[in-house]
Structure 1
Amino acid sequence: MTQKKFDLEERFVDLAACIATFCHDLPNDFTGQYYGNQLLRSTGSAALNFGEAQGTTTDKDFVYRATITFRELKESRVNLKILNKIDYGNKSISLGLLDEVEQLIKITATVIKKKR
């Protein structure tokens, strides 16, 4: 039986979907809307730019898109840390999301280094 290769794109899609669900449950006040909207944008952008990176034709273009992905993930990490610090959202879910973001940051950094 052949083991299926892990799909990195699927991890980005899952992260963006889980973040959307997490943000849906944030308090509907200015703080919740501000950080929730920003988190939705940064994780969505990370997923979309990673997908776009896979379609590039040169290593330079790939590194450019992957670097955008990396920066958006780092923004998402800080956002989740802020939300945890101010006790917004489900703490156990946000810690799981933060762990996944950390893992994707490390993977993306490694991929970028290998392509340079």
Structure 2
Amino acid sequence: MDDFKFYKDIEDNPTFIKCLDFAIRMVHLFEFLRDQKSENVMSKQILRSGTSIGANYSEALGAESKEDFIHKCSIALKEGNETKFWLMLLHRTHYLSDVEYQSLINDCQEIRNILGSTVKTTKKIRK
């Protein structure tokens, strides 16, 4: 694992912070959907997938091997893909305004891009 740039404190890792901040936004979105829109199905799904991105990335940072790191980052990326789906569905069913949607989808896409690049780069390093 010498090829990886690990941070002594996980809070110094910019990708981790992006994932954490996004997870916080997902908690607030869940509360908004539940309390103000009386939506209880999609809100739980997006809470699970949106917070799981950071949880899986956090696990990746403690990976035991490059393969484990790739696997955990790939799971985080899949959770990002699922979160994108739920955001699109919430927007198209009018639970999210255009402004709310654009802000959330942009953050989600940024994280997905980072994770996708991380997986791709790490696979190249592995070879």
Corresponding residue of 2:72: 65
Unaligned runs of 5+ in 2: 1-11
Deviation at 1:90, TM superposition (A): 4.3
Corresponding residue of 1:115: 122
Highest relative contact order (Cα 8 Å, sep 6+), 1 or 2?
Answer: 1
RMSD between superposed Cα atoms in Å: 1.3
Partners of 2:45 and 2:97 lie apart in 1 by 17
Deviation at 1:91, TM superposition (A): 3.6
SS in 1 for 2:40: helix
Alignment-mate amino acid for residue 63 of structure 2: T
Q: Size of the alignment, in residue pairs? A: 109
Partners of 2:98 and 2:26 lie apart in 1 by 13
TM-score normalized with structure 1 length: 0.88
Deviation at 1:16, TM superposition (A): 0.5
Alignment-mate amino acid for residue 18 of structure 1: R
Identical pairs, percent: 21
Please list every run of at least 4 consecutive aligned residues from structure 1 whose deviation after the TM superposition is greater than 3 angstroms.
none
SS in 2 for 1:25: helix
Unaligned runs of 5+ in 1: none
Corresponding residue of 2:19: 12
Residues 22 and 89 in structure 1, CA contact (< 8 A), matched pair in contact too: no
